Amino acid sequence: MSGPTASDAPAGAALTPPPEAEEPVRHPDAPAPGTLLGSHYDQCFGCGPRHPHGLHLVSRASDGVAVTAELRLQGDHQGAPGLAHGGVLASALDEVLGAVNWMLRAVAVTRRLETDYLLPVPVDAVLHLSARCTAVHRRKIYSTAEARIGSPQGPLAVRADALYVEVPMAHFTTHGRAEDVEAVLRDRPGIAADRAFEVNP
């Protein structure tokens, strides 16, 4: 019989790096601070420029292992009248947290995302998002993010802690809907299947 695994840990514990975790190290080829990071997939709900209803977030490299982005909330993002839906805010934070992995040149997916909603967020507000990696342990990437209203120093509306797990490109080609995977491969002739989803600034 096997014992408890990391997946069985309570939420807070799962987001606390183990003592042997290391400080994240910015990849030598990470984009320079201020560089806008391109979308990793043009149909991504978070960052895809061709997604008809997506957030169209554009992340920007910061110093260290960190990124920023801005999200102008709109009527389509409502949960309660005139207020942003919590799931939309979580999506935006997941997107910038995911973009941080590119500063490590790691391809990783969200394993756990924990959000604290501190203030209601009116639609029409501009949310200033920032995310940074706090620790790395083997395939696990620990990160934290904030969303502030109106400016990078504005009121803190939402914060999040997250655990990402590094995956091989086969994660996407194996699990993704075949027609979408094939469309990406068609759009990028000459690129091997396991590179077609490259997260590319």
Ligand X SMILES: CCCCCCCC(=O)SCCNC(=O)CCNC(=O)[C@H](O)C(C)(C)COP(=O)(O)OP(=O)(O)OC[C@H]1O[C@@H](n2cnc3c(N)ncnc32)[C@H](O)[C@@H]1OP(=O)(O)O
Minimal distance in Å, beta carbon 198 to ligand X? 8
107 in contact with ligand X (CB under 6 A) = yes
- SS3 of the chain: helix, strand, coil, percent, to 5: 25, 30, 50
Whichever of 58 and 165 has its CB closer to ligand X, that residue is 165
Gap between the Cα atoms of 144 and 94, Å rounded? 10
Gap between the Cα atoms of 3 and 51, Å rounded? 43
Q: Which of 51, 85, 111, 188 binds ligand X (CB under 6 A)?
A: 111
State the CB neighbour count (10 A cutoff) for residue 115. Answer: 18
65, burial (CB in 10 Å: exposed 0-12, middle 13-18, buried 19+): buried
Got the DSSP string for 134-199? EEEETTEEEEEEEEEESSTTS-EEEEEEEEEEE--THHHHHHS-HHHHHHHHHHSTTS-GGGTT--
Whichever of 18 and 150 has its CB closer to ligand X, that residue is 18
163 in contact with ligand X (CB under 6 A) = yes
Q: Which of 9, 118, 170, 191 binds ligand X (CB under 6 A)?
A: 9
Q: Which of 128, 132, 140, 148 binds ligand X (CB under 6 A)?
A: 140
199 in contact with ligand X (CB under 6 A) = yes
7 in contact with ligand X (CB under 6 A) = yes
Q: How many residues bind ligand X (CB under 6 A)?
A: 22
Give ∠ CA 83-89-93 in degrees, rounded to 5.
Answer: 160
40 in contact with ligand X (CB under 6 A) = yes
Minimal distance in Å, beta carbon 146 to ligand X? 18
Q: Which of 90, 165, 185, 193 binds ligand X (CB under 6 A)?
A: 165
Contact residues toward ligand X (CB under 6 A) are: 5-7, 9, 14, 40, 94, 98, 107, 109-112, 137-140, 163, 165, 167, 197, 199
